[in-house]
Amino acid sequence: MRAFIVMLAALLAAGTMLWAQEGETDVKLAEPFRTEYSGDDATGEHVIALWQFNQPNPAQDLSGNGHDLTLQGAEFVDGGRFGGGALRSFRGWPDTDEAHQARAQNSPDLTPGGAFTIEMWINPAEELRGYAEAFLMDKKYVDDTDYQLILSRETAPDVRRLRMNLGFGGESQTWESETFRVEPGTWRHIAFTYDGAGTGTFFVDGSVSGSETKVGYGRIAPGRHHLHIGDRVGSLYHGFPGLIDQVRIASGVLEFSPARFELLSDRRVFERMEQAEPLRFTLTNLQREPMAGATARFALLGGAPMVLDLPEIASGEQYVIEYPFDTSLRPDDYELTATVELGGEAAFRSSEQFGLTITPRWTENRMPVVMWGGESGQRDALRDIGFTHYIGTGCDFAKIWEAEAPTQAVDDDRLPGQIQALDEALRADMRVVASLSPGRWARGKEEYARINRDGEPYENGDVCGLFDRIQSFCNDVGVSMSQTYGSHPAFGSALIHTEVRGHSHPCFHEHDYEAFREATGMDIPEEVAGMRGVSYEKLDDFPANRVIPDDYPLYVYYRWLWKEGDGWNDLHTQVHRGLHEHAHEGFWTFHDPAVRVASVWGSGGEVDYLSQWTYSYPDPIRIGLATEELLQMASARPEQQVMKMTQIIWYRSQTAPEPGEEAQQQSATFIDQDVRPQGTGAVDETGRYRARWEMEIPDARFITIAPMHLREAFWTKIARPIKGIMYHGIGSLLPGVTHGSYRYTHPETKNELRRLCDTVVEPLGPTLVQVPDGERDVAFLESFASEMFAGRGTYGWNSSWAGEMWLIAQYAALQPRVVFEESIQERGLDGFRVLIMPDCDVLPESVVEEIHDFQARGGIVIGDENLCPAITPDILIETHTRPSEADKARAQNIEKALALREQLDPHYRRRADSSTPDVIPFVRSYGSTDYLFAVNDLREYGTYVGHHGLVMENGLPTDATLEVAREGYVYDLVGHRQVNTGGDGGAMSIPWHFGPCEGRVFMITERPISNVAINAPEQAAPGESMTVEVAVLADNGAPIDAVVPVEVRLLDPHGRAAEFSGYYGAKDGQLSITFDLAENDVPGLWSIEVQELASGLTASAYVRVSGE
């Protein structure tokens, strides 16, 4: 049926616009059930049977299909709904177990083949009151066939519900309506539609009264019973005491609502106080005649309704109505009831409900915990572990490429699903990360490929980022995404161009030559080879002392290439800028793996956060090196920060490889299965011990990180000034997640992560993200020149000799800051007292000069035998090849660390030290307060992978004494208590028993915490904002000079926590929180409970919220 939308100009209610747009839709009009059916409504092809019980032949099936009735205990009477006859039935058991029914002979067409509709008018007699279930129609009895419509027993006086039982052959299913009033002497029209595919819907007097879809059900099964109206097929009989009129069975799903609302807006879930677009509804007149004088009413439970007087609406026409959903209401699930009412002769009232949700805003400085991967239906499980973000959306690159301009990020068909997914994330209190790699996608565009000197594209080639078209495309992708999703609060972040630099090569378009000339005034040197430079042994003019001029052409070229020349960093920036053009304020971008590049600034472009993934084996503390590299990389941009990812997966080959043929199988096809190892393993028939998971999944290629490794890596990275943490490998974290090769082999890892989130990330995260890095006086140089000319570099992998040197420094209780040549060239080495130089074969002249000055000032250089001959080290640690056995490797590094300490300690005073190399300290500072982290690295081989000798996966407890070169008061932020200390002469010692792989953070303040004070108003009113101030006070009464973790809970009189209840970091010992009381908040006495999580002190206050 053709329908169109007309323009309404009137503003019919304050603040509410109505308008219409032209368009066409197919509208199924409502059945004229308030009239006696005739014509096509009585005899149309879709009508299976129709009984109107009128004289002279009340038993006749008026559809013409011959399903005439015979009476058994019921009777035909006058007083029908339309002035004619009706069927009268009676109660049965327990009054008398006799039939009171009209019966139609069983017939195949009384069992509809697919969708169908059953309807009738009913008018109860007084005898219905107090009676139990009453059968209105039954062709099923106790079989799993056909249908059975029952009026349920009373749920309240004169209140019942309808129940439809359908038989599908092997089983039956029940659909129930909402409750409705069934009063003696009052006619009610009831109808049930079934779509033949599991969805059943009830109507009462034209209003939807419940609808449910049962997945997996189709058509009903034909049965052997006759059709009975007014009673049950057999004993125990339960007749309907009252009148029944105009009973019709029809094929198809028919419409009964005289008007229908449809919510056009895709959004259903909102963040509190969100400036959301008004909800857009259409109201369609489904009647066969115009609807005039009608009223629309929108009401939220408990709230004042919005009422609109509607103008005349023609049959089949639609109108658009905007409803401004009030997101200032308190966080909750809401039901918005939309009602259309029509008075007069054709009076009706039709209501529909729409579920809406308001979620609380996040507290300030919440630390993100990102699952780098799709949620795969595991969103709630991830949320329960403590994750705040997951990757869950993207865009249609081809669509944007073809548009050559910002456009909707996905096509119309996909958009509602994407919005719904964001809504669901918001409902789950999570945020969605978009994974956007338009540059990678553009690799498929051959005309934009990177080319070699001969003009040929490289094998496994890459896109040339210097093409304007590629740059603008990346910006278009960012803008498109932000225009499409940017206002949605759950659109939280975007991962930009993950893992793209590996395919990059020097490129030789004319514009590449020109760009290099423009940037440097030089031509691209002839000797340029791959991205990782040219061995100095191949270069004729290479200086013998391996000191190159700063303008050495190859050095200049490679620096340019990595920083800007291959275009990737600018491509990241383009996407980032596009995203921020329209995204909401809290949105952020990140790039990874940001340090899988040479050691020059610029990786990631302008993204908000740099990240990098790290495998924890063989030594979890090694993750600190990549974290420090990220911090150095980000230091080039003051606004850029760092997050750090740990891989949940472990390469089988690096942790528990199988020998010989079995190793081959590990890279072959595998059977997808999960394992839930119980206990330990066993010795197999060959005499080898094998872990349980090895026996159950011998072909596993990626396994789950051991929980203690996860713990130690967590503490190592969170000790550093990072702003969020990430994990990748959901298939190895959660059971039941199908992934190509990630296997769930350790069930305790997820529980460990949950514990860490519960006890550290949530309570302490808001504090830790506000505590900056401390002053560092040890530098760890990663030399770009040595990477380009001597093949050095960690490239973010933490491996190579530099990785071992890093471990040695850790075991020597040093806290080095990674520096690049650039940072030395720009900032010098002021403030550093020790410079560690692993693999620094080649250095630029300016850096050598700085190092000479550094040494002249008393700085100590720690080098190796590969160190550039122009530098004379004060301490030399000879390189070694790391043994594959994890225990030997660790022992070797500790031995060198102890030797280093012996030489270094007379010349260098640490800010913090440990009595054992097994416990590694790290200090950050805020004001006069230090935050001392310590991680226990003492480990042994376990039974999970340890029997292979490559990884010691189990921790051991350790007693250690931490020493700090200051005085003060020490608080255990995990245990929330003050700690006794020893020592004198300006230093303190903290004896501590560390659990296996355990970390700890101590807050060391100048003055003791003595009190927690709350300043809050005595009274407040719903709808008002209320500011609560919290101060953590020192013994002198002043706020303490620290960022102190604090838990604040604002509880209503029912004990429900209000929005913004949660964990905070009280900067400078002070906190100010503005609570926006909602109009529908509960009045009465509210309580404010505060606990500072350093010493555990608590305080409380009360606020009287007015209102009834």
Binding to another protein by residue 874, rule CB under 8 A?
yes
Indicate the residue among 497 and 546 with the shorter CB distance to another protein.
Answer: 546
**Range in contact with another protein (rule: CB under 8 A) among 39-47, 96-104, 530-538, 1072-1080:** 530-538
Q: Minimum CB separation from another protein for residue 524, in Å?
A: 20
Distance of CA 47 to the CA centre of its chain: 50
N residues, the chain: 1108
Distance of CA 416 to the CA centre of its chain: 18
Indicate the residue among 517 and 907 with the shorter CB distance to another protein.
Answer: 907
Binding to another protein by residue 949, rule CB under 8 A?
no
Residue of 795, 821, 800 whose CA lies nearest to 502: 795
- CA dist., res. 192 & res. 46, Å (int): 15
Indicate the residue among 478 and 863 with the shorter CB distance to another protein.
Answer: 863
3-class SS of residue 824 = helix
3-class SS of residue 810 = helix
Structure tokens of 639? 């606004």
Phi and psi dihedrals of 502, rounded to 5? -60, -25
**Range in contact with another protein (rule: CB under 8 A) among 245-253, 467-475, 535-543, 695-703:** 535-543
Q: Minimum CB separation from another protein for residue 921, in Å?
A: 12
Site residues for another protein, window 647-706 (CB under 8 A)? 660
- CA dist., res. 292 & res. 1007, Å (int): 76
Query: Of these, 116, 256, 323, 536, which contacts another protein (CB under 8 A)?
Result: 536
Distance of CA 341 to the CA centre of its chain: 42
Binding to another protein by residue 903, rule CB under 8 A?
yes
Query: Of these, 24, 905, 940, 1035, which contacts another protein (CB under 8 A)?
Result: 905
Binding mask 956-975 for another protein (x = CB under 8 A): -------x-x----------
Binding to another protein by residue 773, rule CB under 8 A?
no
Binding to another protein by residue 915, rule CB under 8 A?
no
- CA dist., res. 992 & res. 998, Å (int): 11
Q: Minimum CB separation from another protein for residue 746, in Å?
A: 26
Indicate the residue among 518 and 537 with the shorter CB distance to another protein.
Answer: 537
Q: How far is CA 109 from CA 41, 104, 150, 225, 967, in A?
A: 18, 12, 22, 13, 92
Residue with token string 């590990």? 666
Q: Minimum CB separation from another protein for residue 904, in Å?
A: 7
Q: Minimum CB separation from another protein for residue 540, in Å?
A: 4
- CA dist., res. 11 & res. 7, Å (int): 12
**DSSP E strands: which ranges in 156-289?**
159-160, 162-167, 172-176, 180-181, 188-194, 199-204, 207-213, 227-229, 242-251, 259-263, 269-271, 279-285
**Range in contact with another protein (rule: CB under 8 A) among 297-305, 441-449, 490-498, 872-880:** 872-880
**Range in contact with another protein (rule: CB under 8 A) among 312-320, 477-485, 901-909, 1051-1059:** 901-909
Interface with another protein (CB under 8 A), residue total 46
Binding to another protein by residue 526, rule CB under 8 A?
no
Q: Do residues 32 and 82 make contact, with C-beta atoms less than 8 angstroms apart? A: no
Indicate the residue among 42 and 870 with the shorter CB distance to another protein.
Answer: 870
Indicate the residue among 71 and 547 with the shorter CB distance to another protein.
Answer: 547
Indicate the residue among 392 and 793 with the shorter CB distance to another protein.
Answer: 793
Q: Do residues 946 and 940 make contact, with C-beta atoms less than 8 angstroms apart? A: yes
**DSSP type of residue 244:** E
Q: Do residues 1099 and 1090 make contact, with C-beta atoms less than 8 angstroms apart? A: yes
Q: Ramachandran region of residue 1000, left (φ > 0), alpha (ψ -120 to 50) or beta? A: beta
Q: Minimum CB separation from another protein for residue 795, in Å?
A: 13
Query: Of these, 669, 686, 881, 1074, which contacts another protein (CB under 8 A)?
Result: 881
Query: Of these, 160, 450, 546, 776, which contacts another protein (CB under 8 A)?
Result: 546
Q: Do residues 979 and 972 make contact, with C-beta atoms less than 8 angstroms apart? A: yes
Task: Report H helices in 295-389.
Answer: 379-385
List 181's β-bridge partners, or say none. 159
Binding to another protein by residue 542, rule CB under 8 A?
yes
- CA dist., res. 376 & res. 388, Å (int): 15
**Range in contact with another protein (rule: CB under 8 A) among 346-354, 370-378, 397-405, 544-552:** 544-552
Query: Of these, 32, 791, 995, 1008, which contacts another protein (CB under 8 A)?
Result: 791
Binding to another protein by residue 525, rule CB under 8 A?
no
**Range in contact with another protein (rule: CB under 8 A) among 139-147, 580-588, 637-645, 902-910:** 902-910
Residue of 292, 237, 284, 259 whose CA lies nearest to 94: 237
Phi and psi dihedrals of 424, rounded to 5? -65, -35
- CA dist., res. 691 & res. 678, Å (int): 10
Contacts of 716 (CB under 8 A, 6+ apart): 620, 621, 623, 624, 627, 920, 935, 999
Indicate the residue among 904 and 1031 with the shorter CB distance to another protein.
Answer: 904
Query: Of these, 125, 253, 876, 1051, which contacts another protein (CB under 8 A)?
Result: 876
Site residues for another protein, window 818-857 (CB under 8 A)? 855-857
- CA dist., res. 1087 & res. 1050, Å (int): 6
**Range in contact with another protein (rule: CB under 8 A) among 106-114, 176-184, 908-916, 1079-1087:** 908-916
Binding to another protein by residue 531, rule CB under 8 A?
no
Q: Minimum CB separation from another protein for residue 810, in Å?
A: 18
- CA dist., res. 295 & res. 990, Å (int): 74
Binding to another protein by residue 485, rule CB under 8 A?
no
Task: Report H helices in 443-509.
Answer: 468-485
**Range in contact with another protein (rule: CB under 8 A) among 38-46, 674-682, 866-874, 1022-1030:** 866-874
Binding to another protein by residue 801, rule CB under 8 A?
yes
Query: Of these, 987, 1013, 1057, 1099, which contacts another protein (CB under 8 A)?
Result: 987
Q: Minimum CB separation from another protein for residue 940, in Å?
A: 24
Q: Minimum CB separation from another protein for residue 915, in Å?
A: 12
Query: Of these, 224, 288, 907, 977, which contacts another protein (CB under 8 A)?
Result: 907
Q: Do residues 1000 and 972 make contact, with C-beta atoms less than 8 angstroms apart? A: yes
Binding to another protein by residue 304, rule CB under 8 A?
no
**DSSP type of residue 449:** B
Give residue 1097's identity as a one-letter amino acid code.
Answer: L
Q: Minimum CB separation from another protein for residue 501, in Å?
A: 18
Indicate the residue among 341 and 874 with the shorter CB distance to another protein.
Answer: 874
Peptide bond preceding 94: is omega within 30 degrees of 0, i.e. cis? yes
Peptide bond preceding 241: is omega within 30 degrees of 0, i.e. cis? no
Query: Of these, 517, 538, 676, 977, which contacts another protein (CB under 8 A)?
Result: 538
Q: Minimum CB separation from another protein for residue 800, in Å?
A: 6
Q: How far is CA 480 from CA 306, 412, 579, 748, in A?
A: 35, 14, 8, 41
Q: Minimum CB separation from another protein for residue 585, in Å?
A: 46
Residue with token string 């020893």? 982
Continuous segment of H or E residues that includes residue 1023: none
Binding to another protein by residue 910, rule CB under 8 A?
yes
Q: What residue ranges bind another protein (CB under 8 A)?
A: 535-538, 540-546, 660, 791, 800-801, 855-858, 860, 865, 869, 872-876, 878-881, 884, 903-910, 913, 963, 965, 985-987
